[in-house]
Amino acid sequence: MAVRERLSGNEAVAYAIKQINPDVMPAFPITPSTEIPQYVANYIANGEIDTEFIPVESEHSSMSATVGASAAGARALTATSSCGLALMWEELYVAASNRLPVVLALVNRALSGPININADHSDSMGARDSGWIQIYAESNQEAYDNFLQAYPIAENKDVMLPVMICQDGFITSHGVENILLVEDDLVRNFVGEREPEHYLLNPQERLAVGPYAVSNYYMETKRGQRQAMINARRVILEVARRFEAMTGRKYGFFEEYRLEDAEYAVVIIGSAAGTCKAAIDQIRNTTGKKVGLLKIRVFRPFPEEEIGAALAHVKAVAILDRSEMFSATGGPLGAEVRAALYQAKCRAEAVNYLYGLGGRDITVEDFCQVYEKLEKIAVEHRITDMYEYIGLRSR
């Protein structure tokens, strides 16, 4: 029987960490992820888990220690947000290129400046090309479920890549929801124990981690990382099927909400998907117009073919980014989804909007207006503003 509980997103992730009982957790506090290491430290102090907690002097140090622990053969993780992730930048690439299966609980928060502590995706989107698998959550339940699936993905011998489990700061991290927890013994069986094949503390094997790669070898390492990311597509779905068999909760690369017959669709990441679903229900119930949603869960590896196929039948699609890319042509999600539509030879009109930067609200009414614009675009086949901010003050 699943355990019913009321938890914030931070509590839910910390509880998942407690159930997994990893070997090492270095961490440095930063809003709004600070609660995660706090909860874990309490579990350790109370004797509920035997994880080695390492207080460090910065986020760069926390990822450095996580990398070192993982290279030594330990199951390691850390947590951070925003500028903390930016301070880890160098080590993010080290973890990925060294093929270390570490897990990072990222509570998404806007990057400075100006200073802002609220949710947007500029931190994780800035790290999208660092070689990490990225999985996003709409709700507290998904944040918990995604974290339970992280190590079986990361530690798979065909993958061996770090995984970033993302949730929206304050919206899910501090908001309390009813969720279903998996029993401890089932979690232990599902996640298993790490059994490293190569690690620094193995006295029978000589191993170097982070060596210098001359030009004759560097490119081959990048090709190896790329293959691991390709392999991750299969493994992510395999782990999701195992998780569904255990819990009944189904996950994939994305969620389709009332999309099967939709003529107009929104593509989005994270907690705002819930507001979009409410708008879809309202529009369908009051007008009968066929609107739907494609909510991205897995952004890396990017499921290009699957997204193209899912949107092949729609007349118009709006891609909503919670992060600026400063390309002057749109956001990162918009660029990749539009490329997927092009590759699929999809004839849908596509427009890219930016929303929710620095935690700005997006409402049901905002989504209703987006769908109205899509209907107009589908009729006129003319996009007057590809690069529009939703909710931007005019003065």
Cis peptide before 114 (omega within 30 of 0): yes
Q: In whole numbers, what is the pLDDT of the chain averaged over residues?
A: 96
Share of the chain above pLDDT 70, in %: 99
* Alpha-carbon distance values, 234 to 141, 151, 231, 272, 299 (Å): 23, 15, 6, 27, 14
> End-to-end CA distance of the chain, in Å?
54
Note the pLDDT of residue 387. Answer: 84
Tens digit of pLDDT for each residue in 56-112? 999 999 999 999 999 999 999 999 999 999 999 999 999 999 999 999 999 999 999
Instruction: Give bridge partners of residue 222 from the DSSP assignment.
Output: none
Tens digit of pLDDT for each residue in 118-156? 999 999 999 999 999 999 999 999 999 999 999 999 999
Bridge pairing between strands 163-168 and 52-55: unpaired
What's the mean pLDDT in 224-244? Answer: 98
pTM value?
A: 0.97
Q: Is the pLDDT of residue 200 over 70?
A: yes
| CB-based contacts of 389, cutoff 8 Å, min separation 6 | 353, 354, 355, 357
Note the pLDDT of residue 206. Answer: 83
Alpha-helical (H) ranges within the chain are: 9-20, 35-45, 59-71, 82-87, 89-97, 122-126, 140-154, 184-191, 215-247, 272-287, 304-310, 332-343, 364-380
CB 150 within 8 A of CB 106: no
Q: Is the pLDDT of residue 395 over 70?
A: no
Tens digit of pLDDT for each residue in 297-340? 999 999 999 999 999 999 999 999 999 999 888 899 999 999 99
| CB-based contacts of 383, cutoff 8 Å, min separation 6 | 349, 351, 377
If DSSP codes are grouped into helix, strand and coil, which group holds residue 43? Answer: helix
